[in-house]
Chains A and B, each alone.
Chain A
Amino acid sequence: MEGDYIMINKKIIGGVLTEIGYTLAFLFILYGINMILAR
């Protein structure tokens, strides 16, 4: 029953890394646009 919502396993690490990875990618896009504008 607990397993329905507790995810103390690989999924947490996977989920956190995915979110951080996507956010970094998004920030990198913004940084890239910014650097192009600055040239």
Chain B
Amino acid sequence: MNKTRKSLDDLKIINFYVGYVIMGTASLMLIPMVTSLIFKEWSVLLDFTISINMAFSLGIFLMLTGKNKVDKVKVQWKHGLIIASSSWLILTFLCAVPYELSGKTASFLDACFDVMSGFTTTGLVLTQDLDHISLGLNMWRHIITFVGGQGMVVLALSFMVKHTLGAYKMYVGEGKDVGLVPNVKNTARLIWKISIVYLIIGTVSLWINGMFIGLQPVSAFFHGLFIFMSAWSTGGFAPMSQNILYYHSLSYELLTMIFFVIGSLNFALHYAVWQGNKKEVFKNIETQSFFITALIISFFTALKLTNSGVYSNGISVFRKGIYNVLSAHTTTGFGNLYARQFATEWGDFPVVMLIIAMLIGGSACSTAGGFKGLRLGVVFKSIIAEVNKLLNSDRKIKVFKIHHIKEIVLEDGLVKSAYLIITCYIILFFIGTALGTYYGYPVLSSAFEAASVTGNVGLSIGVTTPTMPNVMKIYYIIAMYLGRLEFISVFALIGVSFGGIKKLWLKLLKQ
């Protein structure tokens, strides 16, 4: 009896915070609503009015069910993980409603795919007729990706006045494990402050650039805002179906490159640099790892593209080759090529390079995906440590350290956790590749798309289309979700759900 009450208390506390996160994220629908109002998009306004009502109703209901327990029950690790993972899942359905009502998606599954792609900052698109969708819906698409990059839980925590006791557990559940400042609420606010400062700088610079390349001032502003939100979140959404290719502008490409590279850096690194610790950029294992891998992958891609004569000059190789490599490595997914050009023009080797870049990804506790430079650095250092141990006799014990904001001793737990997450990513990638080949796609194309969804990148080689099999759409949604939340919190949700089903099943059998 006591055990059942405890489970009910767990459920109530989870409900309360999930409701809170839903309310926080759903409030953002007010922005596209105001946009639609200003630009007189009445049907879009109606779509968002319906959607926000649905989300608020559910949010309030969930909060009410757990209201009486919120001050009495302490938030535990399992609660935090489940709050983060279930909020993301429920919000995917709720935020897909405006897509569905717009009639621009072939099915609700496609709408959910696009929302999950946005939240996880992937950037793959199934919405049709992208060039003619309303400003309100376009605003919503980019807000989703911008908020997804920082994290919905982070957003909710930023405004949380009370109840911060177990906040850190929810924050970690969202795949962000670095405390920038001792208080998690202030950490969440700091993440938002860094992003907002860059939002202003980025939007203004892209706006001015947009006007220079011939866009009308109002249009240039929205293009600048949308592209910045996508670049900073390493998202990859763009207002036009041709993505960055639409602008045909070197300066636009250069600006986006700067913003997505900075966006892929760890928030703790931003904080350190903003505090005046500029040397951290060179000492940090993540930036070292990113610099080395980006340099190697860019070098070999450029070498192959030059030698095979795909592009006639160095500037073209830089604009097309290096741009896409960095876009893949930072898991942004901005592209200035048509999807099929990777397969038909680039050839196999550069595509393999892109797959490797996509799997490695950006920095931990950033907006980027992939298995992250930090883990790659830890694995590399652990290999050096093992070789060192083998070569030296046991008379001499050497302590290996990594530098990530501070000196961290390379302990077995840290190495094990890095290997575990990398293994999960690789498994997810292989299953995705196998699934693609099952449905008749070429191996390399399947691998490319699987790496893109696993690493939350968004580059496509042409597999992701509204006509692809539903099973693949569902698998890609799962892969994006798992890849973004870095497995553990989703595993906790699955574990608890299965535990609950098992209990219910046993109870029914007894009766």
Contacts and interface: CB of A to CB of B under 8 A. Distances in A.
Contact of A38 (B181, B197, B313): B313
A34 B317 contact: yes
Given A24-B258, A34-B318, A11 B275 contact: yes
A38 B306 contact: yes
Contacts of A22: 281
Contact of B262 (A5, A19, A34): A19
A14 B197 CA distance: 13
A27 B270 CA distance: 19
A7 to B, nearest CB: 6
Contacts of A26: 261, 291, 294
B340 interface: no
A31 B323 CA distance: 10
Contact of B302 (A14, A15, A16, A33): A33
Contact count band on B = 35 or more
Q: Chain A's interface: helix, strand, loop or mixed, by majority?
A: helix
Given A23-B262, A38-B313, A7 B274 contact: yes
B198 interface: yes
Contacts of B318: 30-31, 34-35
A24 B317 CA distance: 18
Contact count band on A = 20 to 34
Interface stretch (B17-25, B185-193, B477-485): B185-193
Contacts, number: 85
Interface in A1-39: 4-7, 11-12, 14-16, 18-20, 22-24, 26-27, 29-31, 33-35, 37-39
A29 B295 contact: yes
B276 interface: yes
B273 interface: yes
By CB atoms of chain B within 10 A, which of A6, A23, A29 has the most? A23
B493 to A, nearest CB: 31
Nearest to B275: A11
B298 A33 contact: yes
A38 B200 CA distance: 37
A11 B180 CA distance: 16
Given A5-B189, A27-B257, A11 B314 contact: no
A27 to B, nearest CB: 6
A12 B306 CA distance: 40
B15 to A, nearest CB: 31
B274 A15 contact: yes
A16 B201 contact: yes
A11 B306 contact: no
A12 to B, nearest CB: 6
A9 to B, nearest CB: 10
B303 interface: yes
Contacts of A35: 314, 318
B25 to A, nearest CB: 23
Interface string B292-312: 001100110011001000000
A33 B197 CA distance: 32
A18 B287 CA distance: 14
A18 B258 contact: no
A37 B190 contact: no
Contacts of A37: 299, 302-303, 306, 314, 317
Given A7-B274, A19-B273, A20-B262, 5 more contacts: A19-B270, A26-B291, A27-B257, A31-B318, A37-B306
11 contacts: A5-B181, A7-B274, A14-B276, A15-B276, A18-B278, A20-B262, A22-B281, A23-B261, A26-B291, A37-B299, A38-B313
The 7 closest A-B pairs by CB, nearest first: A38-B314, A15-B274, A35-B314, A34-B318, A15-B273, A5-B186, A23-B261
